[in-house]
Amino acid sequence: MNRRTVLRTAGVVATVGLSGCVEALQEHYEGSFQGVVPVDIYSEADRPYDLTLEAFDPETDRQTYDESYTITAGQRATPPHLDATEQRLRVTKIDREQRDRQVTKRATITQNTSSVVIRLTDDDLRLEVEGDDEERRPNDGDASTNESATDTSE
């Protein structure tokens, strides 16, 4: 066997071996890769508020995400990304002076969710979830609640 034949044979064997590794990795990780969902917070308020972000697995109710921030007037924050998996997101705005919960909003995060935008105002909290197969939609209506530590809502 001459040198050219040996090199050609070694190249074919290496290519076949690498191809097998790639196929094995693809089979092993098929459907296992999960994306991330960026989260952006914008304050349009005139004063600071505390904000908590929590997410829970819908099947086990295990907490999957827990972040807390103090957001000052006009500030923008970018918390760690959420996993693009099925989970329930709960965002609560807390008045720093009165220490009571003002507004809680809820949304569902899925593998198709591409971003979450939270907008704070002095009067409200807006939670917008954008997905790959849908336009940006606010999660208000039935998904939101006004809560107070002393439950003074009427």
What tens digit of pLDDT does each residue of 46-70 get? 999 999 999 999 999 999 999 999 9
Mean pLDDT is lowest, of 32-36, 85-89, 115-119, 124-128, for: 32-36
Q: Give the helix/strand (H/E) hosting 133.
A: none
Residue 82 counted as domain residue: yes
In terms of pLDDT, which residue wins out, 12 or 119?
119
Whether the Cβ atoms of residue 61 and residue 88 lie closer than 8 Å to each other: no
Q: State the pLDDT at residue 3.
A: 61
Range of the domain at 71: 36-131
Enter the tokens of residue 44: 């349009």
In terms of pLDDT, which residue wins out, 89 or 139?
89
Q: How many domains does the chain have?
A: 1
What whole-number distance in Å separates Cα of residue 82 and Cα of residue 70?
A: 19
Amino acid, single-letter form, for residue 62: R
In terms of pLDDT, which residue wins out, 96 or 25?
96
Residue 54 counted as domain residue: yes
Residue 13 counted as domain residue: no
Residue 103 counted as domain residue: yes
Residue 10 counted as domain residue: no
Residue 102 counted as domain residue: yes
CATH code of residue 109: 2.60.40.180
Q: State the pLDDT at residue 14.
A: 52
Residue 2 counted as domain residue: no
User: What is the mean pLDDT of the segment spanning 77-88?
Assistant: 96
Mean pLDDT is lowest, of 27-36, 55-64, 141-150, for: 141-150
